[in-house]
Structure 1
């Protein structure tokens, strides 16, 4: 299965592109019936399926085209949307539709969309930006459909590919389950750390201010670390890439916490410890900057 974050980066589809497409929803709603009719006329004029499956394929295609047209102009790119597109690719394999037919239909859809949008917008600069966004989003849609179709074709000729797919599918589901469990654990730990921080702030008003302040500061930094880890896990569940920089950041925060504690306690009598913490922060800071730069 493909992940939307990877495709979004590969095809350079930005949030502005998605907003551009969504802005067309009201305009293009008026052309929905024309779209379905024209695509069907073009398809049936060029290609002919066996009579026993012809009505079924047309009905399935009509249902897909209407739903796809609506979802396309909602412009909500996600893994669920890619899975929906891959189902259409699987449909082509089920009814033994030729690869050439799929590409021809996609080419026609692209030209049809381009022409309708071109006719509907008057401002040249705005129209150009909208069309660029639409074409990039179409590339993602067609990539997902073609991927599913080709994957099914390959599966016909090798059992190893089927086994590989099964292993990958099971691994992905297990990985998703573990990430979901991690998210739940991190939420619980973050809430617990926040409660602990609140209790320490209340204690700060009653007890030795210096001692409690250091403890509360440590708890605050721990909340920061947990929130960053939680954010990373959520992004991975959405299809984002694993980022090693988050763990370098955790180590960096830990040393910063030690430095703050040493400073607040006025423990400057041991220059070796103080120097070690400062050098560690500097080294980790450089490593974090280098890794974060490569991950962008």
Structure 2
């Protein structure tokens, strides 16, 4: 943990600003319950919040701690004990695997909430400007201290590796990047062939004797495969941008290919057994897709109420 005195010096955080924050504490204490309620409304939008706040007991404890932290934000006494308190919070975040962008985003809400309430209640413009400066600094200092735990955790892991392990890790990361780019190119090629298949089915629809009904169903099946390929490309782009990789997209592609077969076979009376097998596989894939995506689309608040 960085020395708290040097940290305050780097932010040019003065005694006068500490006193200004102390003057704000009574007003912010009155708003503490409102802050906690709105804070919870905000963090439920993160998607994975319920993974960390699993039941009512944890939520009740967390709400209490958030309220304490918010009131202490304006305590006016930012000594070693205060910074140790913040650092321990950061260590808890690291231990439970809380993503750093959750912390950063949450602080955006804190900043907006405090500044909005200051803006609505100021009387003296010059003093109001000093309030804003003090609030901005203490919020940034808190964020800096909390996220320092993440930096030290990553640094500690890296420094604990031997030179060979570091080289292997670096090499694997590069290799993984190349594989991802190769996969993106392969998906683009698949989409290109899917377009070709769609065009070929259109051609057969007008220039073959396969029948209008079968031709339309075949075209619809090809269009479904093309849509699934585009969805895969979209997910791979998200992955390259640092987001999670969605296995659900591959499941959708498999379902699209099977549904295309169903559309084609549905006009044949000789394919009954095959259709039954394909239907069972599609149901299995649909269940798998539901299990993979349920956490993404279900309201997190419903899981703990």
TM-score by length of 2: 0.49
Instruction: Provide the C-alpha distance between the structure 2 equivalents of 1:17 and 1:149, rounded to a whole number of angstroms.
Output: 28
Instruction: Provide the C-alpha distance between the structure 2 equivalents of 1:107 and 1:75, rounded to a whole number of angstroms.
Output: 21
Q: Is the 8 Å Cα contact of residues 43 and 49 (structure 2) preserved in structure 1?
A: no
The residue that corresponds to 2:239 in the other structure is none
* Unaligned runs of at least 5 residues, structure 2: 163-305
Cα deviation per residue 1:198-255 (whole Å; 9 max; x = unaligned)? xxxxxxxxxxxxxxxxxxxxxxxxxxxxxxxxxxxxxxxxxxxxxxxxxxxxxxxxxx
Cα deviation per residue 1:114-155 (whole Å; 9 max; x = unaligned)? 111111223222211111111112111111001012212333
The residue that corresponds to 2:133 in the other structure is 132
The residue that corresponds to 1:40 in the other structure is 40
The within-5 A match list for 1:61-80 is 61-80=62-81
Q: Is the 8 Å Cα contact of residues 22 and 73 (structure 1) preserved in structure 2?
A: yes
Distance 1:41 1:130, change over 3 A: same
* Unaligned runs of at least 5 residues, structure 1: 162-296
The residue that corresponds to 1:26 in the other structure is 26
Q: Is the 8 Å Cα contact of residues 17 and 130 (structure 1) preserved in structure 2?
A: yes
Kindly tell me the number of residue pairs found equivalent between the two proteins. 161
Instruction: Provide the C-alpha distance between the structure 1 equivalents of 2:97 and 2:78, rounded to a whole number of angstroms.
Output: 28
The residue that corresponds to 1:187 in the other structure is none
Distance 1:27 1:151, change over 3 A: same
Q: Is the 8 Å Cα contact of residues 3 and 82 (structure 1) preserved in structure 2?
A: no
The Cα RMSD (Å) is 2.2
Cα shift at 1:53 = 5.4
Whether 2:107 is the aligned partner of 1:106: answer: yes
The residue that corresponds to 1:15 in the other structure is 15
Instruction: Provide the C-alpha distance between the structure 1 equivalents of 2:50 and 2:143, rounded to a whole number of angstroms.
Output: 25
TM-score by length of 1: 0.50
The residue that corresponds to 2:153 in the other structure is 152
Q: Is the 8 Å Cα contact of residues 86 and 145 (structure 2) preserved in structure 1?
A: yes
Instruction: Provide the C-alpha distance between the structure 2 equivalents of 1:97 and 1:57, rounded to a whole number of angstroms.
Output: 15
Instruction: Provide the C-alpha distance between the structure 2 equivalents of 1:53 and 1:158, rounded to a whole number of angstroms.
Output: 32
Q: Is the 8 Å Cα contact of residues 93 and 153 (structure 1) preserved in structure 2?
A: no
